[in-house]
Amino acid sequence: MEIQRQSKQQQQEFALASITELASSSTTSSCSRSQSVPVTARFSADNGVAELRFNRDSDDSITVDVKTARIFKLGPLQSVCITEASDADSSKEKYSTGVNFQFRNEEESGAFHCAFEQWKKEVTVQGALLPNGPVMACKSKFDDKIEPSSAKMYFHYYGQLLHQQNMLQDYVRTGTYYAAVIENRADFFGRVVVDVGAGSGILSLFAAQAGAKHVYAIEASEMAEYARKLIAGNPSLGERITVIKGKVEEVELPEKADILISEPMGTLLVNERMLESYVIARDRFLGPNGKMFPTVGRIHMAPFSDEYLFVEIANKALFWQQQSYYGVDLTPLHGSAFGGYFSQPVVDAFDPRLLVAPTICHVLDFTEIKALYSNLGCIVGYCTPERSFASKAFRFFLMSDSCPFLPDEVTALTFLGSTHQNFSLFFLQEEDLYEIDIPLKFIASVGTRIHGLACWFDVLFNGRQVFVLIFIPLFYTVQRWLTTAPGAPTTHWYQLRCVLSQPLYVMAGQEITGQLRMVAHNAQSYTIYLTLSAKMWGPGAEQGGILQTSSCKLDLKEPYYRMSQPQAYAMAQDQQPHQLIHSQDIQIQATDDLEEPELIQPPPQNLEGQLQ
């Protein structure tokens, strides 16, 4: 078998105390070799084939293929190697070759078995099925899709304590994770937990506090060493935590996990592309009916109007309008500079009253449910018999009164009636994150200039808790949301706004349509394509047609970090406070912890008359 990855050592040799060759299956006899000459076991990669050779001298040896060999420990110093083979004549039955060998001490025995496991891994072919799922032997899936320079900078950044401190001091983030774990002790107590991208190891320590049986903290950056220090400094918890340095696409674990916990969210939820590693960890490590913290992620979107921001960005290009800058005319580059500034998404905290329409959301379910059926405005989720609703704690929604078909595998359904048509949902595979298309449809709540699309995200930790009533254990769901919404306590993620270089003019009640398309690239981020259109308004609008369209292309990797605190925007003189317009967003599960942001408020009499 050809080796897909070269070993650091082309051969390794271990001294043995004795070798005994076992007889083939056709006999029961055995023969012992004389021990007058030293014997060895040597691993080698001759001619691209990994072999283990038991040598008495240069002319007398037993060779086995590492690929098919299996080694069993019979005692502290004694082991046996069995390898299956077959004669060239297919009519003859297969037989096994066996070698019983003994070491001089336990240290040499342990070193040999570790070497055998390493050589065994190195002859794994691409796509071979291992206990934790398929791996790429030559290059991991991560290496195939991410350019090395980006990965180097990424792991260097997260390998520094100052950046870990920045995240730890985001008390909304850290406190929500702590509450989600501690409030759901029943999910963690006595369970095996895998912390994906463990960083400082704080989430692993939370899981241990909740009573986890064992926690495997996987971290690819140099922060793994700091995590070991921190965990060793908390010995009562650290004895149940193992730090593993490596990528989730490459490492192997000795057992399946009951729970995955991670903080894979970046700006706009998907930046840095760690969600893909989170999904890969699910497929490789999570056992049947396992849980994921977080469980669901949602990207929220709404058009906004912010004249101050638009002018600020446009004015940055004024420098290039100089016709005599030290005698040089800069104006030929003004158009390019103007477009460049508008290609940067803006990361900051903004006043939710800048939103000019109810929000919509796009939902990513990180857990593995078999399928989603969508047709003619009807969205139906279902579970197959082997995956119960209780294990996933998930509700499904019927979006309209018509549902043309249902799969045969349906065992149970929960419907929540609604007339809204603005909820998109799918169940996540890694490849689904390579390109994300979100259709947009809004109804303007006020006549204004639309300067772009505002976005933020939240994630759901969907667990369960136990209480005992007359010696009967009862379970109930404990939900905890982590939100980055405008108006909510600010997090280190802030919010994100895509600003159009050409604003749209809309009237109250006018329909706004478009598309948000995000395409992943190898710098661990996304290219964003945004299009917004205002449909015709007034007489003749029933014939349809687009009145105006504006679009932009942005690089999520290179945002404009404005990060100012929300400013107080004075209400226009003709505006009066009135009851909040309810968001079009449909909740996955009802919760009192998450509130929708306010909107720019028009006069109630005008809006109500136009929307009827």
Q: Which of 196, 346, 336 is nearest to 278 (CA)?
A: 196
Q: What is the pLDDT of residues 320-351, one digit of tens each?
A: 999 999 999 999 999 999 999 999 999 999 99
Burial status of residue 302 (CB atoms within 10 A of its CB: 0-12, 13-18, 19 or more): buried
Three-state secondary structure along 347-394? EECCCHHHECCCCEEEEEECCCCCEEEEECCEEEEECCCCCCHHHHCC
Tell me whether residue 598 is one of the annotated catalytic residues: no
Q: Which residues pair with 63 in a beta bridge?
A: 53
**CA-to-CA distance for 605 and 602, rounded, in angstroms?**
9
Check residues 564 and 202 and name the one with the higher pLDDT.
202
505's CB contacts (< 8 A; 6+ apart) are 448, 449, 450, 534, 548
Tokens of 346: 């803006």
Percent of the chain with pLDDT over 70: 68
Give every strand in the sheet of 214-219, ordered side by side: 241-245, 214-219, 192-196, 257-262, 286-293
- Give the confidence band of 368 by pLDDT, cuts at 50, 70, 90: low
Range scoring the smallest mean pLDDT among 52-66, 108-122, 486-500, 586-600? 586-600
Burial status of residue 249 (CB atoms within 10 A of its CB: 0-12, 13-18, 19 or more): buried
Question: What mean pLDDT comes out for the span 197-226?
Answer: 96
**Given a cut of 60, is residue 35 above it in pLDDT?**
no
Q: What is the pLDDT of residues 260-284, one digit of tens each?
A: 999 999 999 999 999 999 999 999 9
pLDDT of 609: 40
- 604 dihedral zone (left: phi>0; alpha: psi -120 to 50; beta): alpha
396's CB contacts (< 8 A; 6+ apart) are 379, 380, 381, 382, 413, 414, 415, 416
- Give the confidence band of 293 by pLDDT, cuts at 50, 70, 90: very high
**Given a cut of 60, is residue 389 above it in pLDDT?**
no
- Give the confidence band of 5 by pLDDT, cuts at 50, 70, 90: very low
Residue from 122, 272, 276, 596 carrying the catalytic annotation: 272
pLDDT of 217: 97
Q: What is the pLDDT of residues 536-564, one digit of tens each?
A: 766 656 666 778 999 999 999 999 999 75
214-219 and 60-65 beta bridge pairing: unpaired
Q: Which amino acid is at 295?
A: T
Instruction: Detail the DSSP E strand segments found in 247-295.
Output: 257-262, 286-293
pLDDT of 44: 84
Q: Which of 225, 587, 254, 576 is nearest to 420 (CA)?
A: 587
**Given a cut of 50, is residue 61 above it in pLDDT?**
yes
The answer to whether the CB of 478 falls within 8 A of the CB of 460 is no
Residue from 51, 219, 249, 263 carrying the catalytic annotation: 263
257-262 and 192-196 beta bridge pairing: parallel
Q: List helix spans (H) across 451-567.
A: none
pLDDT of 2: 34
Q: Which of 142-156, 380-394, 499-513, 576-590 is predicted most confidently?
A: 499-513
Question: What mean pLDDT comes out for the span 247-272?
Answer: 95
**CA-to-CA distance for 282 and 356, rounded, in angstroms?**
38
**CA-to-CA distance for 463 and 331, rounded, in angstroms?**
59
Q: Which of 114, 226, 64 is nearest to 160 (CA)?
A: 226
**Given a cut of 70, is residue 408 above it in pLDDT?**
no
Q: Which of 475, 463, 486, 495 is nearest to 589 (CA)?
A: 463
Q: Which residues pair with 257 in a beta bridge?
A: 286
Question: What mean pLDDT comes out for the span 374-385?
Answer: 32
Q: Within its chain, how far is the Cα of 452 from the centroid? A: 27
Count CB atoms within 10 A of the CB of residue 288.
Answer: 10
Burial status of residue 497 (CB atoms within 10 A of its CB: 0-12, 13-18, 19 or more): buried
Question: What mean pLDDT comes out for the span 362-381?
Answer: 52
pLDDT of 91: 46
Burial status of residue 209 (CB atoms within 10 A of its CB: 0-12, 13-18, 19 or more): middle
With b for 16 or more beta-carbon neighbours within 10 A and e for fewer, the 37-59 pattern comes to eebebebbbeeeebbbbbbbeee
pLDDT of 96: 61
560-561 and 69-73 beta bridge pairing: unpaired
The answer to whether the CB of 364 falls within 8 A of the CB of 426 is yes
**Given a cut of 80, is residue 144 above it in pLDDT?**
yes
Q: Give the DSSP H or E segment for 310.
A: helix 307-315
Q: How far is CA 263 from CA 28, 399, 432, 511, 535, in A?
A: 58, 31, 19, 37, 40
The answer to whether the CB of 603 falls within 8 A of the CB of 574 is yes
Q: How far is CA 377 from CA 65, 401, 418, in A?
A: 58, 9, 11
**CA-to-CA distance for 10 and 566, rounded, in angstroms?**
62
Q: What share of the chain is helix, strand, coil (3-state, %, to 5)?
A: 25, 35, 40
Question: What mean pLDDT comes out for the span 47-69?
Answer: 78
**CA-to-CA distance for 174 and 195, rounded, in angstroms?**
15
Instruction: Detail the DSSP E strand segments found in 162-240.
Output: 192-196, 214-219
Q: Which of 279, 308, 333, 349 is nearest to 133 (CA)?
A: 279
- Give the confidence band of 259 by pLDDT, cuts at 50, 70, 90: very high
Per-chain mean pLDDT for the chain: 77
**CA-to-CA distance for 224 and 114, rounded, in angstroms?**
22
